[in-house]
Structure 1
Amino acid sequence: MNLEEQIYLRKSCRKYSDEPVCMNMIHEFMADVKPLNPDIGYHYEILTKDEVKVRNRWSAPYYLALYSEKKDNYQENIGFVFQQLSLYLQSIGIGTCWVGMDVPKNKNSEFVIAISFGKSEAMTRELSKFRRHGLSEISDFEDERLIPARLAPSAINSQPWYFKHTDDGFDVYQVKQNIIKRQVLKKWNPVDMGIALAHMYVANENTFEFEIKNSFEDLKGYAYIGSIKI
């Protein structure tokens, strides 16, 4: 199982068949998944579309409802953990899509976001088909080590990440959106940041480290999220 190669061909899936999915594979993978912050409790439940308020024009046969304690960086942690699962599901022929609008009919206060999933034949694309900012736009200078983060999915393709080189890695920042975009993206961009960090972890599994520094450069237009070593 090579999750890294999925980064370069993955596609958010919006077309699914009704073919059953073996849920045991999800539970087995999640037993060993790496969190961004191990001190934040989280859990998930698997729902059918009849158990979800679907607000998109399309639906999936299954949904993952993701829940978390509301601690600092909990949204980034959710994105980090469950993008690993998303890449794993794609590696075994199951398509996924992060869905910000769809919610469980019986959701509680710990609900964060959902992921649709199911068997699909429309879940990959060529690298040239990704619509993403250039490497020089997401960092203080172009660095091919950031390609995995560059290819991460995000709410309305907002791509809110920015990486500043340090002596041993990168300080990671989130774009401060304008007042109009902020109304839509304020709940989802922190999750997006976790998704991008998950891609960096998967591409650097043996060396990846994450920390939140007390001292960092304050960049105009950006909010500091944390720092990584790869």
Structure 2
Amino acid sequence: MDLASQIYERKSCRNYLDEEIDLDIIKDFISKCRPLNENINYYYEILTKDEVSVRTPWSAPYYLALYSEEKENYFENIGFVFQQVSLFLQSIGIGSCWVGMASPKKKKSNFVILIAFGKSEKMTRDRSSFKRKDLSKISDYEDERLVPAQLAPSAINSQPWFFKHSKDGFDVYQKKQNILKRQVFKNWNPIDMGIALAHLYVENEETFDFEIKNDFEELKGHTYTGSIKI
């Protein structure tokens, strides 16, 4: 199973076929996903479209409802784990899309976000069609190793990540949004950070490591997320 190749052609799907899919293979993959932080408990439910309140002009036949205990980096952890799932779904011919404007009809505590998924006829795209910031804009200097993060999806394509080279990897920062955008992106952008880190993990599975330093450098206009080795 080559998840890394999915990074370069993945597309957030908003058109789905109303067909049943094998959910057991998805559950099995989720059980094997690596978390960003092993000390954070999280769980998920698979819901149908009838069990979800959706505020988008489209819907999907299935949704992953994601839940987590509230600890440091728990949004990032959700993004990290379930972007692995999104890439897996793509690899077996199932489209998906992170959905911030939806929630389960039956309210439960610790709900974080939904992922829509289902069979779709339009799941891939050419690398040239990605609208992303240049590598020089997401790091202190251009580094091709960051392309997987560069291509990560984010809320309204906000691309909040910034990478600063360190002695043994990168210090990772999230861009601070203005006051108005902060109200929209306050939960979504930390998830986006986890999604970008998932792409770097999938591309560097044997060497990837994440830690939170005490001696990180403050970066104006950004908040520190953690540090990685790839």
- Give yes or no for the alignment of 1:55 onto 2:27: no
Matches within 5 A, 1:199-218: 199-218=199-218
1:126-161 CA-partner distances (Å, limit 9, x unpaired)? 000000000000000000000000000000000000
Q: For residues 47 and 199 of structure 1, what CA distance do their matches in structure 2 show?
A: 26
Aligned residues: 230
Q: With structure 2 as the length reference, what TM-score do the two structures score?
A: 0.99
Gap regions ≥5 residues in structure 2:
none
Quick one: distance in 1 between partners of 2:109 and 2:28? 26
Q: 1:107 deviation in Å? A: 2.3
Unaligned runs of 5+ in 1: none
SS at match of 1:77: helix
Separation of aligned partners in 2, 1:129 and 1:205: 26
Match of 1:164 in 2: 164
Distance 1:109 1:185 in 2: 20
Aligned equivalents of 1:107, 1:101: Cα separation in 2: 15
Q: What amino acid maps onto 2:101 in structure 1? A: M
Structure 2 counterpart of 1:82, which letter? F
Match of 1:125 in 2: 125
Residue 9 of structure 1 is matched in structure 2 by 9
Partner Cα separation in structure 2 for residue 107 and residue 40 of structure 1 = 21
1:75-224 equivalence runs, <5 A? 75-224=75-224
Question: Pairwise CA RMSD of aligned residues?
Answer: 0.5
Overall identity of the aligned pairs, in %: 71
Q: Counterpart amino acid of 2:227?
A: S
Shift of 1:31: 1.5
Where 2:15 maps in the other structure, the secondary structure is coil
Letter in 2 for 1:46: I
Matches within 5 A, 1:31-42: 31-42=31-42
Secondary structure of 2:72's partner?
coil
- Taking the aligned partners of 1:187 and 1:209, their CA distance within structure 2 comes to 24
Any idea what the Cα deviations from partners look like across 1:23-61, whole Å, max 9, x if unmatched? 001111011110000000000000000000011000000
For the residues of structure 2 that align with 1:160 and 1:198, how far apart are their CA atoms? 15
Structure 1 segments, 4+ long, off by >3 Å, are none
AA matched with 1:55 = R
* TM-score where L is the length of structure 1: 0.99
